[in-house]
Amino acid sequence: MADPYLYSVTNNVATFSINGAPWNLMSIAYIDRLEEQLPDVLADDGIRAMIFTGEGLDHFSAGMNLKQIPEGVQRAGSPEAFFGQRHRVLDMIENGGTPAIATLFGYCLGGGLELPLACHFRIAAAEGAQIGLPEMDLGSVPAWGGSARLPRAVGRSHALDMILRGRKIDGAEAYHIGLVTELLPVADIKARAQALGEELAAQPRQAVKSMLDVIVGYETRTLAQSMEDEARAVAANRSTADAQEGLLAFIEKRRPVFNKAPE
């Protein structure tokens, strides 16, 4: 049996590429392996950014393999347990303290949008992308957190428009409504994701993690609570080796080199 995804690490950036071209369906094995591997990846100080993509350039992912739902529910013991596993995996991506980047090209539907919604950066193809949560067309609703995360990404009106109408949008509209941060030719998006990952990996790791802790989920906190979170982040980062390196580099008029191994 082929691996559900291909995994590699280049320049402190881990890449998870769904191995099921052209459709790159998110199988039971894909979620099982992510749940098993992500804790180790997130705990590895040598991995400072993650990319979620799909093999080929046809489709990122047409979503969950619907034919596997009965098997998955039976194995998990209940629908709640089956979908709960998916919630846990996406929560690890969003709240694990490591920046995550998703590439959106071709079909990005159902789980193929819900996983990117748990990422911190999304890059879309300027041509050919079809992005949406089409569960209404199946008489159902998003089940991997799509209806919770999409409004936080694009606002209530755009989320309702996409979900209630089962509407698929292209990369240009996704960029216009703020769903993605960059819009590029499809041939360029994987290289751009790697470059962005390396840029993030070069930033001070503890400071990046602190900012993810402060900003991710800010919608559920008051301004005063977020200010308290920021104050804790300031205290935690005030005397780190990276903070000292940043100040010294500024004085010496050079680029800082963060995340140095202890001598």
CATH of the domain at 82: 3.90.226.10
Please tell me whether residues 70 and 88 are part of one structural domain: yes
135 included as an active-site residue: yes
Please tell me whether residues 124 and 233 are part of one structural domain: no
- Buried/exposed code over 76-108 (b: 16+ C-beta within 10 A; e: otherwise): eeeeeebbebbbebbebbbebbbbbbbbbbbbb
Please tell me whether residues 223 and 108 are part of one structural domain: no
Q: Identify which of 113, 93, 90 has the alpha carbon closest to the alpha carbon of residue 103.
A: 113
Within a domain: residue 182?
A: yes
Cβ atoms 113, 132 nearer than 8 A: yes
Domain that holds residue 232: 205-251
Within a domain: residue 31?
A: yes
Cβ atoms 65, 28 nearer than 8 A: yes
* Per-residue confidence in pLDDT tens, the chain, 263 aa: 689 999 999 999 999 999 999 999 999 999 999 999 999 999 999 999 999 999 999 999 999 999 999 999 999 999 999 999 999 999 999 999 999 999 999 999 999 999 999 999 999 999 999 999 999 999 999 999 999 999 999 999 999 999 999 999 999 999 999 999 999 999 999 999 999 999 999 999 999 999 999 999 898 899 999 999 999 999 999 999 999 999 999 999 999 999 987 76
Please tell me whether residues 126 and 183 are part of one structural domain: yes
Please tell me whether residues 38 and 166 are part of one structural domain: yes
Within a domain: residue 12?
A: yes
Please tell me whether residues 36 and 160 are part of one structural domain: yes
Helix (H) or strand (E) holding 160: helix 156-164
Give Cα 88 to chain centroid, integer Å: 13
Please tell me whether residues 170 and 66 are part of one structural domain: yes
* The residue to which tokens 């994987």 are assigned: 190
Please tell me whether residues 45 and 74 are part of one structural domain: yes
Within a domain: residue 263?
A: no
CA distance 254 to 235: 25
Give the tokens for residue 10: 């280049």
DSSP-based three-state secondary structure for 115? helix
Cβ atoms 172, 180 nearer than 8 A: no
pLDDT in the model for residue 249: 94
Give me the helices (H) in 202-240, please. 205-215, 223-237
- Among candidate residues 35, 94, 127, 135, the one labeled active-site is 135
Within a domain: residue 258?
A: no
Cβ atoms 50, 194 nearer than 8 A: no
Please tell me whether residues 164 and 227 are part of one structural domain: no
Please tell me whether residues 130 and 10 are part of one structural domain: yes
Q: What is the number of domains present in the chain?
A: 2
Within a domain: residue 257?
A: no
- Among candidate residues 55, 114, 230, 252, the one labeled active-site is 114
114 included as an active-site residue: yes
CA distance 196 to 211: 17
Please tell me whether residues 178 and 100 are part of one structural domain: yes
Please tell me whether residues 215 and 196 are part of one structural domain: no
